[in-house]
Chain A
């Protein structure tokens, strides 16, 4: 029987966490959009040891037909973890946890999408966790909203997810797996950064009213930082394309002038 022993200290005397971070520090994040050829839109995120792919198909014809709604698009969402993504192999069949997360992630993304523009269709969002290290629903949401933007689905805003929690009696940002398991509370939050509206809010553990307020504000602060990275990831992809397009136009113009 494999047993994970709790680490002796989640925060050391210098106030550093196990991976060397400060309490209010995010893990390093790498974002990339348009990583999959077949999907209408896709994105990849690395956040610490998390590695997650998200893809969007649609808007496309609803199948089976009875799913279709007369006045708007149906959003279908699947959050799934690969069998090799965890310490011990995860059964590939969807677990109760994955079913719940698929639902709350859908409900976190849906308020931002102009579904009324595509009646009788479905927009499918797939989130595949390739390696998990805590905070995967937040990271999944970050990637999924980038994939939606990459697919050109009209949205009110991007959606950003990030967790705050409590370890060793301290409120910290962006818990990893060990901190989640042996800490005292975990609170995943997702917001629409433009308006600050909260579209996902969950929490388990134990927080006093003051701690709750501090954690919620810290999570929102984290979300806003990640939002900048999301915008930059989109700019990296689309600013380059814009430049390339302009270059083609310019050279064509020059050629015309020469002839």
Chain B
């Protein structure tokens, strides 16, 4: 059952200060309303994983690891590989994260990242079929939140994509129902770059890449995932507030502009 969360205590004075600043187009950390914090992408940090990446957005720190293994296809897609996205809100990342099975926030986060990758067809899944109806490759994307300072969705989706781009998987060969490893490694067939852009709403203002303090004050947030053609492939409104139609349209426009810049970072 989903329960109203008790919000983190943030001093009323800070809340007012922050809202006043934002109304004047400024933010506590000196950014403009549509600026991201500094983004650092470090691919290939875990040798044992087929692919990995460590991403920083300001103090938010997320690691993604990719494992690729042969498995059975789903009955409704017998000729396609499988994409699985999982996130862990690791207890060392925040005083509010607790050990245990993933809660609704972890599940929502994973499903929003998953939706972006799946709907944009980022991975060419039909190419991951070894024998139709029998064996396909399963791509596990495991996202580890290591430090929580807001905007986990964008950090996770950049980390997932960077790790997928970094993936070098074993070559498999199927001979008389037997799966054998061949020497050498190949890249994953990546054909699209879905970029998630999250904006928080405080009163009547939108701010790109909200940090944790801003997340605690904001009414709601909207994640819009843009593919390489500038089309939208996933969206999620989250939080207790509401958006006007005009705000959604403004957010959409900003998301398309910001996605462009983020995509360039990843293409490097």
Q: Give Cα A205 to B194, complex, Å.
A: 12
Residues of B within 8 A of A198 (CB): 237, 242-245, 248
Q: Closest A-chain residue to B242, C-beta based?
A: A197
Q: Give which listed residue, B2, B110, B133, B245, contacts A103 with CB less than 8 A.
A: B2
Q: Give Cα A208 to B220, complex, Å.
A: 24
Take A103-B108, A196-B245 as given contacts and tell me if A77 and B240 are in contact as well, using a CB distance cutoff of 8 Å: no
Quick one: which of B178-231 are within 8 Å of A by CB?
220, 222, 227, 229-231
**Is B120 interfacial (CB-CB < 8 Å)?**
yes
**Is B68 interfacial (CB-CB < 8 Å)?**
no
Residues of B within 8 A of A77 (CB): 1-2
Q: Give which listed residue, A67, A96, A196, A203, contacts B232 with CB less than 8 A.
A: A203
Q: Give Cα A1 to B132, complex, Å.
A: 13
Check A213–B240 contact: CB distance below 8 A. no
Check A204–B234 contact: CB distance below 8 A. yes
Residues of A within 8 A of B222 (CB): 201
**Is A245 interfacial (CB-CB < 8 Å)?**
no
Q: Closest A-chain residue to B236, C-beta based?
A: A202
Residues of B within 8 A of A202 (CB): 235-237
Q: Give Cα A102 to B115, complex, Å.
A: 18
**Is A206 interfacial (CB-CB < 8 Å)?**
yes
Check B235–A187 contact: CB distance below 8 A. yes
Chain B's nearest CB lies how many Å from the CB of A214? 12
Secondary structure call for the A interface: mixed
Check A100–B233 contact: CB distance below 8 A. no
Q: Give Cα A247 to B232, complex, Å.
A: 57
Check A216–B248 contact: CB distance below 8 A. yes
Residues of B within 8 A of A2 (CB): 75
Check B252–A203 contact: CB distance below 8 A. no
Check A203–B235 contact: CB distance below 8 A. yes
**Is A75 interfacial (CB-CB < 8 Å)?**
yes
Take A207-B231, A213-B249 as given contacts and tell me if A96 and B107 are in contact as well, using a CB distance cutoff of 8 Å: yes
Check A99–B75 contact: CB distance below 8 A. no
Take A205-B119, A207-B232, A209-B230 as given contacts and tell me if A199 and B242 are in contact as well, using a CB distance cutoff of 8 Å: yes
Q: Give Cα A122 to B142, complex, Å.
A: 35
Residues of B within 8 A of A217 (CB): 245
**Is B69 interfacial (CB-CB < 8 Å)?**
no
Q: Give Cα A179 to B237, complex, Å.
A: 23
Check B239–A107 contact: CB distance below 8 A. yes
Q: Closest B-chain residue to A156, C-beta based?
A: B242
**Is A46 interfacial (CB-CB < 8 Å)?**
no
- Sample (29) of A-B pairs whose CB atoms are under 8 Å apart: A1-B75, A2-B75, A69-B4, A76-B2, A78-B1, A99-B2, A100-B107, A102-B2, A103-B108, A104-B236, A107-B220, A111-B240, A124-B1, A195-B242, A198-B243, A198-B244, A201-B236, A201-B237, A202-B236, A202-B237, A204-B115, A204-B118, A205-B233, A206-B119, A206-B120, A206-B233, A212-B252, A217-B245, A220-B245
A sample of 8 more A-B contacts (CB under 8 A), given A3-B78, A76-B4, is A69-B4, A74-B3, A96-B107, A104-B238, A111-B241, A115-B4, A198-B244, A205-B119
B binding-site residues for A, Cβ under 8 Å: 1-4, 6, 75-76, 78, 104-105, 107-108, 110-111, 115, 118-120, 133, 220, 222, 227, 229-245, 248-249, 252, 256
